Amino acid sequence: MGDNFLRGSTPISIFNISSLQYINIAQGNLSGTLPANICSPHNQLEEWIDPLGLGNLTMLRKLYVGYNELTGVIPQEIENLYNLEYLYFGVNSLSGSIQPRIFNISTLLMISVSENQLSGNLDRKRGGFAEASRIDSFPQQNMILDTLCELHNLKGLLLSHNLMIGAIPDCKDLLELNLSSNFLSGHLPREIGNLKVALLIDLSAKKFSGSIPTTIGDLQGLINLSLAHNTQQGFIPESIDKLLNLERLVLNHNNLSSKIPNSLETLNYLPYFDVSFNDLSGEVPSSGPFKNFPS
């Protein structure tokens, strides 16, 4: 039912189909809240004022409810959907914290909750889920911990345009990491080079400062890298010339200085390159992908 002009709430009877494996009600105009126990195997759905209930959908693999007008919190009882692979809540008005127990779903491949009003702390220094569960009753202190990286099937973590603070999770198996437009700060860690299979990394519109670590050159499968709208300083690392698959390099609106390394001429698949609004000097390279850029 996605990408239509549906309004109001979803008929509750839909969620009585326990064999459902795929729900797509994205890009509609649905509204209402997500009740705290909509995923309980024994809930009485007819009692809920808001009819957006998922019921006993233990076979559910894909849940798309993005691009609506949903409010309230993401219920931690989603952990009951133990076959879930794709979770898309992006572009709604959800608030509160992301309950760490959601990440106990070991089958998850993709989590997208971008463009909501979610808060929390991406803190690599805290303990595992057992520790996190002890602070579940204090949502304002909620943590999304590095232990979500123990979800070895997880390939995409999309949390952009929220209210997250803390550090970058060190998830080595991610293909996509988008934490743009949050409140993360500090320096980019050298450990970013551990994301060796990543295809997309977007850490733009934050408060990152310091230099871009040379370990960025270890991400040799990377296609899209954006560090725009930060306060990055220093040079553009020459190690970026190792990213031979790179198609988008976006470093605009920082405090980068010196010149554009000539070694980037080896990036033959780079059609999009933006380093505007920095303190760069010198001549722009003229070979490789740069020969096709406007002067």
pTM: 0.72
The mean pLDDT of 11-22, rounded to a whole number, is 51
- Could you tell me the two tokens for 195? 């994301």
Asked whether residue 69 falls in the same domain as residue 167, the answer is yes
152 and 283, same domain (yes or no) = no
Of 141, 160, 183, the domain-final residue: 183
The enclosing domain of 36 has a CATH number of 3.80.10.10
Same domain, 169 and 81: yes
Number of domains forming the structure of the chain: 2
Cα gap 258→276, rounded to integer Å? 13
Residue of higher predicted confidence among 180 and 56: 180
Last residue of some domain: 183, 204, 221? Answer: 183
- Which two structure tokens, joined as six digits, stand for 49? 């004022």
Contact 260, 282 (CB under 8 A): yes
122 falls in which pLDDT band (50, 70, 90)?
Answer: low
- Higher per-residue pLDDT: 100 or 145: 100
- Is the separation of the CB atoms in 195 and 220 below 8 Å? no
Residue 227 and residue 158 share a domain: no
Is residue 287 situated within a structural domain? Answer: yes
Domain edge (last residue) among 132, 152, 183: 183
pLDDT at res. 24: 54
Task: Identify whether residues 176 and 237 lie together within a single domain.
Answer: no
Q: DSSP for the chain?
A: --SS--EE---GGGGG-TT--EEE--SSEEEEE--TTTT-TT--GGG-SS-----S-TT--EEE--SSEEEE---GGGGG-TT--EEE--SSEEEEEPPGGGGG-TT--EEE--SSEEEEEE-TTS--HHHHHTTTT-GGG-B--GGGGG-TT--EEE--SSEEEE-----TT-SEEE--SS--EEEPPGGGGG-TT-SEEE--SSEEEEEPPGGGGG-TT--EEE--SSEEEEPPPGGGGG-TT--EEE--SSEEEE---GGGGG-TT--EEE--SSEE-SPPP-SGGGGGS--
Residue 231 structural domain: 195-295
**Contact (Cβ atoms closer than 8 angstroms) between residue 84 and residue 102:** no
Residue scoring higher pLDDT (106 or 199): 199
- Report the C-alpha gap between 151 and 149 in whole angstroms: 5
Say whether both 204 and 175 belong to one domain. Answer: no
Render pLDDT for 51-106 as a digit per residue (tens, 0 to 9). Answer: 344 546 778 888 888 888 888 888 777 778 888 888 888 888 888 877 666 767 88
What's the mean pLDDT in 270-278?
A: 95
Residue 188 included in any domain? no
> Does residue 214 surpass a pLDDT of 80?
yes
Same domain? 166 vs 230: no
217 and 168 belong to one structural domain: no
Report how far residue 270's alpha carbon sits from residue 77's, in angstroms, rounded to the nearest whole number: 44
Most confident of 128-137, 223-232, 279-288: 223-232
Are 144 and 216 members of one domain? no
CA dihedral defined by 138, 68, 27, 157, rounded to 10 degrees?
-10
